């Protein structure tokens, strides 16, 4: 596997699920990287220095040599294309690649305004519609539950970027008052991801009372 000339720099926030996607993938790939914490609560993502790296003012951002790249899913695709010569994580077969992209879209869409948004309400006190977010999350988890019936991973018979992109906000859904008891296939899948060599967890927050 190709190795970076110097450790990749990851700009992150410890409670950001989007940033954790990238941290998780870097660790699963076994790539050297260093974390640079951006204090979102203090507004560091809106400083001119950080906006020069990502004009949207969001984490994560990576710096890999002369490459500066933002957006968690874009970073996943970049890292897979740059460092996974075997195309394990992002298949070259058109059909499998399309199925991976489908889950990347789900991570950026329904998962973001579902489980991720519900967590923002409970962990950060964001004034969002929790009931609507919970309904969206439950729809996504229902689709995942069916997709994982009889198989270990979301696409094909091996782990891909689809699993990396969908993992964090699923695992932390209870922090948004969304229990996972009704999704045994999803819970088994979470355990498989967590048993992978190189797995790193995201910092947990208090789980809301029922």
For the record, the structure tokens of 142 come out as 């229902």
Q: Is residue 176 classed as helix, strand or coil in its secondary structure?
A: helix
The answer to whether residues 55 and 111 belong to one domain is no
Residue-level pLDDT at 70: 98
Q: In what order do the strands lie in the sheet with 33-37?
A: 33-37, 8-12, 61-64, 67-70
Task: Please check whether residue 72 lies inside any domain of the structure.
Answer: yes
Whole-number Å distance between alpha carbons of 151 and 20: 25
* 1 band by pLDDT with thresholds 50, 70 and 90: low
pLDDT tens by residue, 146-198: 999 999 999 989 999 999 999 999 999 999 999 999 999 999 999 999 999 99
pLDDT at residue 209 in the model: 65
Task: Looking at the structure, tell me whether residues 73 and 103 fall in a common domain.
Answer: no
Which whole number is the average pLDDT over 85-103? 96
| 187 and 108 inside one domain | yes
201 part of a folded domain: no
Q: How many CA atoms lie within 13 A of 1 on its CB side?
A: 18
With a CB cutoff of 8 Å and minimum separation 6, the contacts of 12 are 19, 20, 22, 23, 35, 36, 37, 38, 59, 60
pLDDT at residue 69, rounded to an integer: 98
- Give the C-alpha separation, 40 to 163, whole Å: 26
Q: Which of 3-7, 55-59, 97-101 has the lowest mean pLDDT?
A: 3-7
Q: What is the pLDDT of residue 29?
A: 97
- Mean pLDDT across the stretch 90-119? 97
Q: Can you give the pLDDT at residue 5?
A: 87
Q: Tell me the average pLDDT across 124-144.
A: 97
Domain that holds residue 113: 94-194
Residue 74 has a pLDDT of 98
Q: Is residue 51 part of a domain?
A: yes
Which secondary-structure segment (H or E) carries 83?
Answer: helix 72-83
Look at residue 164 in the predicted model and tell me its pLDDT: 98
Q: How many domains, in total, are found in the chain?
A: 2
Q: What angle is formed at CA 70 by the lines to CA 66 and CA 71, rounded to 5 degrees?
A: 150
Q: Which tens digit of pLDDT belongs to each residue from 10-64?
A: 999 999 999 999 999 999 999 999 999 999 999 999 999 999 999 999 999 999 9
Strand 61-64 relative to strand 8-12, pairing = antiparallel
In a domain, 35, yes or no: yes
């Amino acid at each position: 596997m190709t190795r970076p000339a110097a450790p990749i720099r990851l700009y992150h926030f410890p409670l950001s699920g989007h940033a954790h996607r990238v941290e998780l993938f870097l660790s699963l790939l076994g790539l050297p990287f260093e974390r640079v914490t951006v204090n979102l609560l203090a507004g560091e993502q809106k400083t001119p220095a950080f906006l020069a790296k990502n004009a949207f003012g969001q984490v994560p951002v990576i710096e890999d040599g002369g490459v500066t790249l933002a957006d968690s899913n874009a970073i996943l695709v970049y890292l897979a294309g740059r460092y996974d010569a075997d195309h394990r994580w992002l298949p070259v077969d058109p059909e499998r690649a399309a199925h991976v992209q489908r889950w990347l879209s789900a991570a950026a869409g329904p998962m973001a305004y579902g489980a991720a948004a519900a967590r923002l309400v409970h962990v950060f006190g964001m004034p969002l519609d929790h009931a609507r977010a919970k309904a969206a999350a439950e729809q996504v988890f229902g689709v995942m539950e069916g997709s994982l019936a009889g198989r270990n991973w979301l696409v094909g018979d091996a782990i891909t970027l689809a699993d990396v992109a969908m993992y964090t906000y699923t695992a932390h859904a209870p922090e948004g008052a969304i229990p996972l008891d009704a999704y045994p296939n999803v819970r088994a899948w979470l355990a498989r991801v967590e048993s992978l060599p190189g797995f790193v967890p995201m910092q947990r927050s208090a789980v809301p009372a029922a």
